[in-house]
Structure 1
Amino acid sequence: MNNKTLIALAVAAAAVSTGASAANVYSQDGTELNVGGRAEFRGDFIGNGGEEIDGTMANNSRFRLNIGGTTQINDSLSGFGFYEAEQGVVSSSGNDAETDFTQRYMFAGLQGNFGAVSFGRQDTAAVQISQMSDVTTFTGAQKEFIAAGNEQVNNTILYTGDFDALSVKASFIAGEDKDTNGYGISGIYTLPMGLGFGLGYSAGDNGENAGTGNAIIAGVNYTLDSLYLAGTYTTGETDDKSSSDFNGMEFAATYGFGNGFTLMGAYQKTEYDVVGQTVNQSDFFEITGDYAFNKNINAYVAYMLNNLDKDDFGAKDAEDTLRLGLKYSF
């Protein structure tokens, strides 16, 4: 597999991390096809999304399947495509089944000396910044404030360029409805010592007769052997016509002990300021212990200490969550 093929696969793989290398199922005449995914049991105790569990356990398990491939067009140009879907579980006493797959990613693109350009349902440019701290079980809210900076967005055109220590992304959302376009740009610069700095900006229209949302996201991370530290901060407004501002912060740390065991910790807080009133969307600490039996299967125990009050916006019962997980990745 040549370097250009590897780069194109990396662009597709950036959309999803399964914890294991996808299996190569076809390789001939410059064309590669890879299949990957995960089967993950996730059992939540005490609380489920902040709401108290009346019984013993809420089942938030999931199954993901992805298919990605590349094809060599000539010495300087290749094409690639990627698809991923997810099936969840209906956690109910009636033992209901959920059979529908939810589409997560579906895009195709071209890779060359200029970088890569892809088209379809995919992450916007700012997601590479939010991913700096989205490394534990319950993290990831930094990307969710506005659609123009979120993941898995339809009608997205994405440019990716890697220039030695600098990774640059730019995205444009070609909205189907009137006044729903969006755009974003981001970059991460990583020093040889393992210290990285990220900055991104996103903005998008909210529809006809509505305003515009915008977000600035900044991140920093540091890698030293098995230690990883990261923090991100997001600020902006969901709609410039409604005076709805937001702020979010997320900090994460992971350390691998070299024997298969990894310890993870995180803190997240997100809030909205609506017409001068501040409401908390999330506020929690997380501690997780993960044990990898091998590169394909791992088990983990995660505890989320919910700091929200019952009167906070979206807090429900503001319960903690204890999650037991077992994940097989392929």
Structure 2
Amino acid sequence: MNKTLIALALAAVAGGASAATDFSPAVNGGDNTNAIYSADGANLFLGGRAEFRGDFNGNEDGSDIDGTMADKSRVRLNVGGTTQITDTLSGFGFYEAEQTTKSAEGDSKFQQRYAYVGLMGTYGAVSFGRQNTAGVQISDMSDIATYTGDQKAFIYAGNEQINNTIAYTGQFDALTVKASVIAGEEDDSDGYGVSAIYNLPFGLGLGLGYAAGENNNGDADQVIAGINYTNGGFYTGFTYTTGDLDDDNDFDGYEFAAKYKFENNFSIIGAYQNRQVENDDISDFFELTGAYDFNKHLNAYVAYKFNQLDDAYTDNNGKVQDAEDSVRLGLKYTF
């Protein structure tokens, strides 16, 4: 199965006659004005963000904050580029890293988020390295708020920023198709996934994905579905996922989010998420966020997470957690 997906992806990239719409791989992590080099068919982009994030009352996981504020600030830097090989074939690469600041909870953390390189042809793009699996595009349909986005995180084969991943993306008019294969380094760590989103002309999008993989406790699989709607400054998305963590544990999750951006650059976002393993809640919260865009580079926001879990709940890793509400103040500069 894995060899077949790889062969199909490579064949698609090398394809001849046009069948796909114009498609650009995810190599620009900035605001589309951040090209630092362009010559002889090659383009280089530099992007990133500097973001202050301060949590009050409780941390994101519901644990108490001993002092006044927990510092969750971070800096991201990314570099990406493309090069034209022939009229129908080009190459691309992308790298992104994140550095968090030191807080009372522990040391600062450096993380390599993405590192991949690939080829793009008439029928799409295939890339190799640390990158998102196919199902992430479905999870993203409801991931528009501060605390949302964990629909993808149930199993390894459907998550983001995964090493040893071979991914295919093709865009055919209103249809976006993705496929991914994980060639795991350790025993029982292979996986694969497929997904598709179809966007109707009146702003409605429909998405469906499937992922499966191995782990030390058996086989894991996931079905994820999503729907979204866009109309002017209004956006809303809903996702539902279900599957098996291993041979013994089932999971379910659903997430809803809506956003409206006013003409004065103020936005309001509301969200709800519930995730369960074996019918026990591992997340259950409402979120309300207000944000203001000073311009395309600078954004300020305040987010309140209304935690609905019981005190002393047990999370997905078997750790007993508190269930405090959390307030986050943020100021983000993007370039």
Offset at residue 97 of structure 1 (A): 6.2
Partner of residue 289, structure 1: 290
Partner of residue 23, structure 2: 7
Partner of residue 308, structure 1: 309
The aligned amino acid for 2:223 is I
Task: Supply the distance in 2 between the matched residues of 1:159 and 1:170 (Cα, whole angstroms).
Answer: 5
Offset at residue 258 of structure 1 (A): 1.4
Task: Supply the distance in 2 between the matched residues of 1:34 and 1:103 (Cα, whole angstroms).
Answer: 18
* TM-score normalised by the chain length of structure 1: 0.91
Partner of residue 26, structure 1: 37
Tell whether 2:231 aligns with 1:224.
yes
Partner of residue 9, structure 2: none
> SS of the residue aligned with 2:66?
coil
Offset at residue 180 of structure 1 (A): 1.5
Identify unmatched segments of 5+ residues in structure 1: none
Partner of residue 236, structure 1: 243
The equivalences for 1:86-235 within 5 A come to 86-92=98-104, 98=108, 101-207=110-216, 210-235=217-242
Tell whether 2:54 aligns with 1:43.
yes
The aligned amino acid for 1:118 is S
Instruction: Select the residue among 248, 254, 267 that pairs with 1:249.
Output: 254
Offset at residue 22 of structure 1 (A): 5.5
Instruction: Select the residue among 296, 311, 331 that pairs with 1:326.
Output: 331
What are the superposed Cα offsets for residues 265-303 of structure 1, whole Å, 9 maximum, x if unpaired? 100010100xxxx32110000000000000000100100
> Is the 8 Å Cα contact of residues 78 and 110 (structure 1) preserved in structure 2?
yes
Tell whether 2:269 aligns with 1:264.
yes
Offset at residue 312 of structure 1 (A): 2.3
Identify unmatched segments of 5+ residues in structure 2: 1-19
The aligned amino acid for 1:191 is L
> Is the 8 Å Cα contact of residues 34 and 45 (structure 2) preserved in structure 1?
yes
Task: Supply the distance in 2 between the matched residues of 1:179 and 1:147 (Cα, whole angstroms).
Answer: 11
Task: Supply the distance in 1 between the matched residues of 2:298 and 2:257 (Cα, whole angstroms).
Answer: 23
Offset at residue 221 of structure 1 (A): 0.1
What are the superposed Cα offsets for residues 168-216 of structure 1, whole Å, 9 maximum, x if unpaired? 0000000112231100000000100010000000000114xx4110000
> SS of the residue aligned with 2:68?
coil
Offset at residue 92 of structure 1 (A): 1.6
Number of aligned residue pairs: 310
Partner of residue 78, structure 2: 66
Task: Supply the distance in 2 between the matched residues of 1:312 and 1:65 (Cα, whole angstroms).
Answer: 36
Change in 2 beyond 3 A, CA 1:227/1:172: same
> SS of the residue aligned with 1:38?
strand
What are the superposed Cα offsets for residues 106-133 of structure 1, whole Å, 9 maximum, x if unpaired? 0000001010000000000000000000
Task: Supply the distance in 1 between the matched residues of 2:190 and 2:23 (Cα, whole angstroms).
Answer: 29
Task: Supply the distance in 2 between the matched residues of 1:151 and 1:293 (Cα, whole angstroms).
Answer: 30
Change in 2 beyond 3 A, CA 1:238/1:22: farther
> SS of the residue aligned with 2:314?
coil
Task: Supply the distance in 1 between the matched residues of 2:312 and 2:185 (Cα, whole angstroms).
Answer: 38
Moved runs in structure 1, 4+ residues, more than 2 A? 10-13
> Is the 8 Å Cα contact of residues 133 and 140 (structure 1) preserved in structure 2?
yes
What are the superposed Cα offsets for residues 121-165 of structure 1, whole Å, 9 maximum, x if unpaired? 000000000000011100011010000000000000000000001
* TM-score normalised by the chain length of structure 2: 0.89
The aligned amino acid for 1:299 is A
> Is the 8 Å Cα contact of residues 22 and 35 (structure 1) preserved in structure 2?
no
Moved more, 310-319 or 44-53: 310-319
> What percentage of aligned pairs have identical amino acids?
59
